[in-house]
Amino acid sequence: MKILVTGAKGFVGKNLCWALKNIQAGKDKTHPELTVEAVFEYDLDSTPEELDAWCKDCDFVFNLAGVNRPKEQSEFMEGNFGFASTLLDTLKKYGNTCPVMLSSSQQASLTGRFGNSEYGRSKKAGEDLFLDYSKETGAKVLVYRFPNLFGKWCRPNYNSAVATFCNAFANDLPYTVNDPSVELELLYIDDLVDEMIAGLQGKEHHCEFDGLDVLPQADGKYCYCPITHHVTLGEIVELLKSFAEQPKTLMIPEIPANSFAKKLYSTYLSYLPYEKTAFDLKMNVDERGSFTELVHTLNAGQVSINISKPGITKGQHWHNTKFEQFIVVKGHGLIQQRNLNDPDGKVLEWEVSGDKIEAVHMLPGYTHNIINLSDTEDLVTVMYCNEIFNPNKPDTFFDPVK
């Protein structure tokens, strides 16, 4: 399949083209049934001759080209309607009735706050042009009205509040929120790309619109992405504040699968400058080695890294409720545990090595230690604990294993 993407260097275009090229190269294992032979990337620097050749050759068109921020209002119609006419005329020139996807906007509804939108009128004219083209030629047309989009590679200070806020927090820039209660409907770029790939396979979602409301309908003349998020500006800013504090707090935010928070965190990270991409961790160092907390979580404790010098024993304590996992990733060591209430004082032992990585539970009510058995090599242990250390209630009591 040969695919033409117009507006290939825009926010959506870049994400879609990389997804298609991953499929073409066999790197994307989620679409084994889909074969992409070529991706034609059309943008402002492309020539009319290239558009002509690609329209003749392509098997599917994603028309993402358009004008968002023109110098003159008249450029809306020229950029959004005018190019669409050129594209469809070129396809008709070659009798190419391959499916065509059009990226439109909620503003094309011309309702509510979009009732007097020049941009919306240009988008609505483009929609009508594509729908008429479908009736005339029999070509399949997929018309999507996008809500607000966000994700990596989105241009800040342009037409995305999320991109602007992410860039501001990542780069310590000023920002303004006039009304934190304003709610946005947001569509994440990966969800959009997944929907466009589905459309490429004839699995798009159809609908009708009642103003801005999506009415799913199998034979609807419009298309939509079924996964969007309704979030207020205030909620976005509060999440970004917590993300920006993570290098200080080590707190990984709650990011459930497919949640807005997970998608926003990934978006925020994509705006980090070089100097903030790496950050120092506090190493607690003494003659025995070091102990460094790596990450904290809101509800599942923390992960740390422990380094023991040759011959050193660490631990020799027990917990009531706190439990840990020790995972040796480098070196050769011995983990010992003893049940405090075992009258025989039996010691349980695990010889551990970075050559055979395994996790050993430190059991509540068992005093435990970890010994570096090497005379020359440090012992490096990843330690998980089910709670963040609380100096006011450490739940840690000294008692040698032997």
CB atoms within 10 A of CB 359: 12
Query: Which among 80, 160, 70 is positioned nearest to 121, based on CA atoms?
Result: 80
Structure tokens at 373: 């058995």
User: What's the longest Cα–Cα distance across the chain?
Assistant: 92
**Catalytic pick from 42, 94, 119, 144?**
119
- The span from the CA of 36 to the CA of 38, in Å, is 6
Long-range contacts of 168-172 (CB under 8 A, 24+ apart): 169/240, 169/241, 169/243, 169/244, 169/268, 169/271, 170/244, 170/268, 170/269, 170/271, 170/272, 170/273, 170/276, 171/271, 171/273
119 is catalytic: yes
> DSSP secondary structure string, 95-106?
T----EEEEEEG
Contact 338, 345 (CB under 8 A): yes
- The span from the CA of 30 to the CA of 173, in Å, is 38
Over its C-alpha atoms, the chain yields an Rg (Å, rounded) of 29
Contact 85, 47 (CB under 8 A): no
**Chain center to CA of 49:** 37
CA dihedral 50, 51, 55, 56 (to 10 degrees): -40
- The span from the CA of 339 to the CA of 306, in Å, is 24
DSSP state of 364: T
Q: Are strands 332-339 and 366-372 parallel, antiparallel or unpaired?
A: antiparallel
- The span from the CA of 85 to the CA of 76, in Å, is 14
Query: Which among 157, 149, 158 is positioned nearest to 13, based on CA atoms?
Result: 149
Distances (CA, A) of 372 to 133, 252, 254, 383: 75, 31, 36, 15
CB atoms within 10 A of CB 344: 7
Active-site residues: which are they?
119
